[in-house]
Structures are given as structure tokens and as C-alpha cells.
Amino acid sequence: MIRTDLVMIVTSDISGQVRGKGFPVSNLEKRLKRGMGWVPTNVQITCLNSIAESPYGSVGDLILVPDEKTEVKVDFEDNGAVEHFFIGDILHLDGSPWECCTRGLAQKALADLEEETGLFFNSTFEHEFFYTGADQTGWNGFGLESYRKNSLFAQTFVSALEKAGVDTDTFLPEFGPGQFEVTTSPCVGIRSADQSLILREVARATADRFNERVSFSPMVKSDSVGNGVHIHFSLLDRENKAVTYDRSNKQGLGEKAGMFCAGVLKYMPAITALMAPGVLSYQRLTPHKWSAAFNNLAVQDREAGLRICPVIEIKGKAGKTADQYNLEYRAADASASPYLQIAALVRAGLQGIKDQLPIPEATQGDLSLMSKEELEKMGVTRLPQSLDQALELFENESIIKEWFPGNFQDVYLKHKYQEIKDTREIEPEKLYALYGRVY
Ligand code: GLU
Ligand code: MG
């Protein structure tokens, strides 16, 4: 059959979907410079393919311009089409950033962090997903047998990631039957979010080659474990030196990192609307699911909103503590755009530094068993328990208007309220299936 290679330029939008436009590879040079036309109201296409109210209407034109560094070109060598795309930035026709480009919002937050504090954000996304083609016979979390029975998919996936320029840190069969976890190596700046987008899409492309699907949806059914996105991060100075750790603090948090974490904790309830923004996200963010239910900091506790990760101390084998020390944001999932996750996290942390918030204390024990008064004393609150609640906190947090330009917050709210409206009448089983498919 005759075929022409097509290249896509894509964006990860408010709905957490990856959308774009394509062109024949012969036009690559032109498209790298000028990109392709993009419609403002596209940002209001929800994950269910409805359109929320848009301030832009049918008017206006933007461009989606590829970032050459993000090229993904994976030939699975199975005679199928080569997976070839670039991640783009949505710009005005004069090249200036557009208010609702998620990647632009993340880049601006990272640039402001650097300019205002001299710090760089080093991070990686840990992803969990279910694979429909998984051989679940005698499934055992972390089981070698569970891996072996699915190693063809696993190896093809990791090979595809490698060809896409993404270095896999770890891959494992998770606890849920048919669930896997994959983590990429940490990167400074926007690249970690790029890698998160690429990882999700390469997982989908790999599954597609096996005529199967993957789902990163936070909950795939009511009685299953969730799919989390855990964002690991640390801070580097201009000399590339890790500054997150300070041994003189009892939790090991350096001064700036402590303020950063304090900001993240303070705004965690309000930014949940950006970090875990699906209608099903709130079934995962409950106690005893090893996800996160409170805006607390805790040492090595997998129920914490923000977890201080372990440091390996074997003499002569482990690296320096300061280079290993990192935090893990656990109240996040893949119904979000990774760019909005980075933007929200960095904005909240930067605010903590600007306001010189005190270094937070780590909590201990099971917070779900504590009284409201006890929690209040620790300065901890329950995270929102529905998307409605999360959006209300997001809307009422006045500082958010300063973090994001122009119409962004209003557009975001309209988008998400449309999603709530669209899903209100759908029975739970159908909703799991629907979200399972779109994420
Ligand atoms: N599946 C859990 C979540 O929803 C995380 C399990 C783990 O600690 O890796 O976040
Ligand atoms: Mg896991």
C-alpha cells in the first residue's frame, strides 16, 4: 500500500488529552519554523469530546510551534506507521506565549523560580497504568512470574521509550492485577513534563501494536487500586548543586527547600484541581489507598501528600545524601496535563519561598484516625473529596490569579465544570470504562 510519513505536532491541554495536527514529513523544515495554525477554543474540548463555554468563541488564530528537542520518532519495525511527533508550544501569531498553553505556563513558572531564587527544579514522574493485554494468571505484585508473562510488552515498551529519547529508570509489575509502574530518569526544567507526555503516549502506541490498550486513569474500577502519578523533585542551584538537603534540619530539609515545601503544602488543597482533576480522581485520594488524603509532609510514608523519600547509606556504594534526597508529591494523577502539574507545583513552592514560610514539620501516624482538632493543631487539612470541592478551593484561592495570566483560571473552571455536567448522569460502571478509555 502506498504511504507517506506524517508528523504530528501535539499539545497536552487542560483536559490532559494530547491533541495536535499533522503534516507530511517533506514539509518538516517549514513546519519547524512556523508551526501550524491552532484554534483558541480547542482548549475547551473536554476529555469527553464536548465543548465547554469559551471566551474565544469562533474567533482568533494561534500557532502550535514544535520544539525541536522534543522529537519522538519510533519505528516499531512491524511495518506499521512510524510514531513521529513533536511537542509544541501554543503561541500568538507574533510568537508571544498564549495564556492557556500549558507548556508555556510551566516554562514561565520554571523561569520565574530561577529568576527570583536562582533555583532549578529537578524532577521525574512515576507513572502507574493498567494494560488490557496483561497475562494476569496468578498475578503477584512485583512478581518475577508476573513480569515474565508480560515481558514482551514490557521490553517493547522500554525499547520504544529508548528510541523516543527517554531513559527508563525502573519498570515493574505493580500490586493491581495487570498494573505496571514505570519511572523515567530525573531531568531539570520542562523536560520531565515532556517525558511524562512521551511516556504516556509511547505506552499507548506500544499497546496499540499488540491490539490492546493501556489506561492511566486514576481509578479503573471501584474495587481496584488506583493509578497514581508521583512527582519526585529536588532543587538545584546555578552550579547544578543539589540544595534540597541540610543535615542540620531534623527532617533534612534545606532552608529554601523547606520554604518551597511549606508553599506546596499550604496550597495543596487548592491546586488539587490541577494535580488530580478528574471526576474519578477523588476516589483515589482517600485514606489507606497509598495515595494521599491530607496536605501533610511525612518521612517515607506512602500515605503522605508530600513524602520525604529514603536515602541509601551503604558506605562506598551510595552517592552523597544531598544528591539522593528528594520529595515525592503523591496527590496527583494522569487525568492532568503534566505541564499544569509542574506549573502548579513550582508556583506553590515559589510562593512559599517568597513568603518565607517556616520549614514544615513532618507528621506521624495515621491522620485518618485523628480528630479535626488534632489535625488543625498540626496545620493539616483533608484534601478535597470531589472535583466540585477542588474547583471551589481553586476558584477561591486569590493568589492563583497572580500565578496564571489572563483568562486561564476562568477558562479552566468553565472547562472542568462542563466535564462535571457531562458526567453527572453517567452510572459508575460506565464512568470507569469511559475514563479508562480516555486516559
Ligand atoms: N497505586 C498507588 C497510588 O494510587 C501508589 C502505590 C505506590 O506507592 O507505588 O498512588
Ligand atoms: Mg507504585
Residue 270 has pLDDT above 80, yes or no: yes
Place of cell 544531598: 322
CA distance 385 to 200: 26
Residue 316 has pLDDT above 90, yes or no: no
Percent of the chain residues past pLDDT 90, beyond the cut: 95
So what's the pLDDT on residue 288?
A: 93
Residue 308 has pLDDT above 80, yes or no: yes
What mean pLDDT do residues 410-421 have?
98
Residue 294 has pLDDT above 90, yes or no: yes
Q: Please report the atom of ligand 1 found closest to the CA of residue 181.
A: 9
Q: Ligand 1, residues 174, 183, 329: which to mutate, most atoms within 8 A of Cβ?
A: 174
Q: Please report the atom of ligand 1 found closest to the CA of residue 292.
A: 10
CA distance 62 to 94: 9
pTM of the predicted protein model: 0.97
Residue 185 has pLDDT above 90, yes or no: yes
Give yes or no for a contact between 258 and 360, defined as CB atoms under 8 angstroms apart. Answer: yes
Per-residue pLDDT of 43-91, as tens digits, reads: 999 999 999 999 999 999 999 999 999 999 999 999 999 999 999 999 9
C-alpha of residue 218 to centroid of ligand 1, in Å? 10
Per-residue pLDDT of 194-231, as tens digits, reads: 999 999 999 999 999 999 999 999 999 999 999 999 99
Residue 18 has pLDDT above 80, yes or no: yes
So what's the pLDDT on residue 310?
A: 87
CA distance 195 to 153: 20
Residues 6+ apart with CB under 8 A from 374: none
- Per-residue burial over 9-46, b if 16 or more Cβ lie within 10 Å, else e, is bbbbbbbbbbebbeeeeeebeebbeebbebbbbbbbbb
Residues whose beta carbon lies within 6 Å of some atom of ligand 1: 128, 225-226, 228, 284, 289-291, 302, 330
Give yes or no for a contact between 310 and 217, defined as CB atoms under 8 angstroms apart. Answer: no
What mean pLDDT do residues 100-115 have?
98
Residue 383 has pLDDT above 90, yes or no: yes
- Number of Cβ within 10 Å of residue 420's Cβ equals 14
Residue 318 has pLDDT above 80, yes or no: no
- Backbone φ and ψ for 34, nearest 5 degrees, come out as -105, -15
Instruction: Write the secondary structure of the chain as one string of H (helix), E (strand) and C (coil).
Output: CCCCCEEEEEEECCCCCEEEEEEEHHHHHHHHHHCEEECHHHHHECCCCCECCCCCCCCCCEEEEECHHHCEEECCCCCCCCEEEEEEEEECCCCCECCCCHHHHHHHHHHHHHHHHCCEEEEEEEEEEEECCCCCCCCCCCCHHHHHCCHHHHHHHHHHHHHCCCCEEEEEECCCCCEEEEEECCEECCHHHHHHHHHHHHHHHHHHHCCCCEECCCCCCCCCCCCCEEEEEEEECCCCCECCECCCCCCCECHHHHHHHHHHHHHHHHHHHHHCCCCCHHHHCCCCCCCCCECCEEECCCCCCEEECCCCCCCCCCCCHHHHCCEEEEEECCCCCHHHHHHHHHHHHHHHHHCCCCCCCCCCCCHHHCCHHHHHHHCCCECCCCHHHHHHHHHHCCCHHHHCCCCHHHHHHHHHHHHHHHHCCCCHHHHHHHHHHHC
* pLDDT band at 192; cut points 50, 70, 90: very high
So what's the pLDDT on residue 319?
A: 78
Residue 19 has pLDDT above 80, yes or no: yes
C-alpha of residue 295 to centroid of ligand 2, in Å? 20
What mean pLDDT do residues 159-180 have?
97
C-alpha of residue 420 to centroid of ligand 2, in Å? 28
**How high does pLDDT run on average in the chain?**
96
- Torsion (CA) 46, 230, 119, 191 in degrees, nearest 10: -60
What mean pLDDT do residues 98-121 have?
98
What mean pLDDT do residues 245-268 have?
95
What mean pLDDT do residues 93-118 have?
98
What domains can you pick out in the chain, each with its CATH number?
Answer: 6-97 (3.10.20.70), 103-438 (3.30.590.10)
* pLDDT band at 252; cut points 50, 70, 90: very high
Q: Ligand 1, residues 183, 330, 335, 439: which to mutate, most atoms within 8 A of Cβ?
A: 330
* pLDDT band at 423; cut points 50, 70, 90: very high
So what's the pLDDT on residue 250?
A: 82
Q: Please report the atom of ligand 1 found closest to the CA of residue 128.
A: 1
* pLDDT band at 315; cut points 50, 70, 90: confident
Give yes or no for a contact between 106 and 193, defined as CB atoms under 8 angstroms apart. Answer: yes
C-alpha of residue 37 to centroid of ligand 2, in Å? 39
Spell out which residues have Cβ within 5 A of ligand 2, the ion.
Answer: 181
Place of cell 523544515: 29
So what's the pLDDT on residue 145?
A: 96
- Backbone φ and ψ for 135, nearest 5 degrees, come out as -80, 110
Residue 371 has pLDDT above 90, yes or no: yes
